[in-house]
Amino acid sequence: MSNKLIMAFVALVISIAAGCTNSPSFTPYVGRLDELLPKTIGEFTLRRTDRMTGPRSDHEEFGAIDSIKAFYSRGNDPSAAVLKIFNFTSVEKPVEILQKQIGIFNDQKMRFEVQDKKTPNGGTTRRLVMRGGSMWTNGSLYCVLSLDAKDADQVAFEAALPF
């Protein structure tokens, strides 16, 4: 049995144990992150993207191999939605980061909910939801959405994403 096959099997077992069955195209994701971003999502329009690199960035702290920050506008609000996507070499790292966030939120007595999230390819993953945003994983991707909108808009925004 090849090492790649063994590593894929181990990643699958860990993901299932964490409550995730990721989309195959994201285990790991090997494309450009900006290719994942829709130009429009309902009333939201992609205005700009920034690379998140540097010594004090989440990119460095998390150990991501790639990351992007996308700004979506709605009406006169130039940053009505901000989406950060981090890509890693493994599916374990995003799950680890999400679990760490859950621990931090618990320690800070923040109000949030952990839900199962259906992925566009039929898998499931974990989703951390709080007022004004959410975090989720899909394969090697870790996503953070900050949204200045109603809960229904947040759900619709996430549902329109391909990951």
**Class of 3-160 per CATH?**
alpha beta
Angle between helices 92-107 and 3-17 (to 10 degrees): 30
Assigned token pair, 95: 């799950």
| DSSP percent split of the chain into helix, strand, coil, nearest 5 | 35, 35, 35
Q: Domain ranges in the chain?
A: 3-160
Whose tokens are 């499931």? That residue is 124
State pLDDT tens for residues 119-147: 777 777 888 898 889 999 988 999 999 98
Categorize the per-residue pLDDT at 3 as very low, low, confident or very high, splitting at 50, 70 and 90. Answer: very low
Instruction: Name, in order, each residue with C-beta under 8 angstroms of 70's C-beta and a sequence gap of 6 or more.
Output: 34, 37, 46, 48, 49, 82, 83, 84, 85
As a whole number, mean pLDDT of residues 106-124 equals 83
**DSSP secondary structure letters along 47-84:** EEEEE--STTSHHHHHT-SEEEEEEEEETTEEEEEEEE
Query: Could you tell me the pTM of the whole model?
Result: 0.79
Q: How far is CA 123 from the centre of its chain?
A: 14
